[in-house]
Structure 1
Amino acid sequence: MRFGVNYTPARGWFHHWLDFDLDDVRADLDSVAALGLDHIRVFPLWPLFQPNRTMIRPRAVEQLVSLVDAAGERGLDVNVDGLQGHLSSFDFVPSWTTTWHRRNLFTDPDVVDAQARLLTGLAAALAERPNFLGMTVGNEFNQFSGPPHPDPDRIRPAQAGRWLRRMLAACEEGAPGRTHLHASYDAAFHDGEHPFTPAHSARLGAMTAVHSWVFNGTAQRHGPDGAAEHLAAYLVELSKAWADDPARPVWLQETGAPAPHVPPGRAAAFTEATVRNALDCPGLWGITWWCSHDVDRALADFPELEYGLGLLTNDRELKPAGEVFARLAREHRSDGPTSPPPPPAPRRTALVLDAGDVEEAPGRAVSAPGGAFFEAWMRVASGGGRPAVVLAQRAGDAAHLAARGIAEVVAVGEAG
């Protein structure tokens, strides 16, 4: 079990790449390592690393390598998100894809070629670093492909699949054998019109990434307790329904305690409940909290909830949620003073999800907050059950059920 954080620099947020200061980075990483965590996820801003379609800035790549090396000196492994892309409500796309040069981020041949070159270049620069885990294609890059983005690059699921395969192949070309994956925000699992699908998430790349945010309608409907505390575990289990490999690992790559949906006074309790519920999911690779450090309030125009998501303040002081996360990490470390808890037992009962066609899942809205499947799963989980999820197409497949340790399937109407 891996415990880490999404690294948000304490000084200047991700704009720190403009005035990169390795001493500041080292101080940040010291505060992360002091929590007893084992990895970070980092975010090079696309326009700064590739300001022209045929130019990848050597100095920017050198700075990324120095960050990865500094993390390694502190016992931290590193996953690198290649295309930024989108972060905390801001889009970071290079000028050669916008306005007079506007072209589709997913289908224009020149743009796709350039994206692939960047991913290969970053991966190759890090390929020999022992603490380099691998690449994530980009942070929720799927948000560019449809509503609610104000200017989406519209594509169909088949085009999304082709783009993802090309990007993952580019990562593998640069760093063969590393753990390369992609990450979508939860429209991929909940919106039947969205071109990125659950099958893409659960079948492409080395593992499945899920991002759990209770402001997706869960907290609005249920408050900060109950269903909100089970949301991360729900998404982990939901993703498994589409996996062809029953043993495919799932990475809870983002989760956090966003105010006011989770009141600041409840952040520590919410963190504990969310993490413990997720740890009860078999096949979980790790949990990476969003985020390491708060956003400095001297920086303008962030949504209010983004400023206080850190485990540490932007003065690098530990917050109550950080104390909880660090304690849970210590409890589950295999090299800690005590033996970690045993892995969770298989989830023996599965709720049957009918989202339509397996590849495109046009009916996946039933799994969104307020949907019949979501609400049924949450009733079972909040009542102390440990539900898994199985697609309707596989509910009668004895071999599939056995491989996942499922002994009983239950229809949504029978769950309660």
Structure 2
Amino acid sequence: MSHAEPTHLFRQPKAVYAVAFACVISFMGIGLVDPILPALAEELDATPSQATLLFTSYLVVTAVMMLVSNWVSSRIGAKRTLIVGLAVIVVFAALAGSATSISGIVAFRAGWGLGNALFIATSLAAIVSSARGGFAGAIILYEAALGLGIAAGPVVGGVLGDISWRGPFYGVAVLMFVALVATALLLPATPLPERRTSLRAPLAALRHRGLFLMSLAALLYNWSFFTMLGYAPFPMELEPLQLGWVFFGWGIFVAIFSVLGAPRLQARFGTARSLYGALTGFAIVLAFIAAFPEHRTVLVVAVIVSGVFIGINNTLTTQAVMMISPVERPVASAAYGFVRFIGGGLAPFAAGKLVEVSNLHVPFALAVVTALGAVGVLATNHRALAAADAGMDEDGHAAQDVEDVAGQVADEFGGAPGAIDEVEAVRGR
């Protein structure tokens, strides 16, 4: 099998650009607080583990609310769901900037996570349904937005954080309001789905073995990822703007290898082997951090280089999840997002607590173990990934019906014979 790069990646309808721009701003919210974590902890007299709760509250609420995002969108439509999600982010980002205590910021970040969940699950589906260039092209466009947002977030956070720790929160509120207006004006009205999604649909979808294993691998990977993202800024001991540039360099690598590196590796080695290599490379980088956490140069170089492996992993994992799952892509996205964000949310806080009771080496050593654990989980799903590769043509379109691919996965790799029937019952057919 071979994959050509999408021919229309940068020739998209205005609606796609509007949603992609909103995605960039939304994902800025992930890395935005990185440069200000040490300064914020010092300003508000908080411990590092308390400061990392800004990640935990945001991502855990995002994870839980992913379970209801499709229930909402199937009742009010995708466009309205996107607008509601963006509006919620605007309000809670502004409130976080107005908070006077670390607990207040943590609480408002949780509200931010609610809006983020509504937006993320729906935005991926909106881009996939509207983008030109095939399914793979849509995923790459989405991951490019993710990479640009992650790259820009730390710089914006560093620049505004150099003025005040409140600046990044107000900055996101303003940018998200612009994204809200662009989405409202440029995205056409979306019809209501033919069927309403039940609240239990995402959890029921996880009964599909391939989707469950992909989600479990993503949980382990996100534990590693957010251990680095959420705790590495503390031992670096840099000013907010300096931290911003470090994570900007990291984000640039994420964006480049999401868009360019991942498709080339997939074409040459297939999804499974490319993921094994990317996760193993990430584990090696984390091993350097675990061995030398007090050496600033090692930390800076390792964090920036890790963007190579994170970019590859993000694109190929998202694409594989959408192909393997036998359910509608919004439901698959919600189920997958629920599991993976749980890992990402708990990891930074756990890292802070591990340092308090042990030393700086331990959380990063655990991150090495979880990254390699993700490889092990994916290896048990190898034939499912091969079946997903076989289900795509050279332009990234589905060569087979996605449910046929899922059925093939079930037949080839020990899936429950009734998996498709169970999912169809949830979907109401």
Give the shorter-chain TM-score range: under 0.3
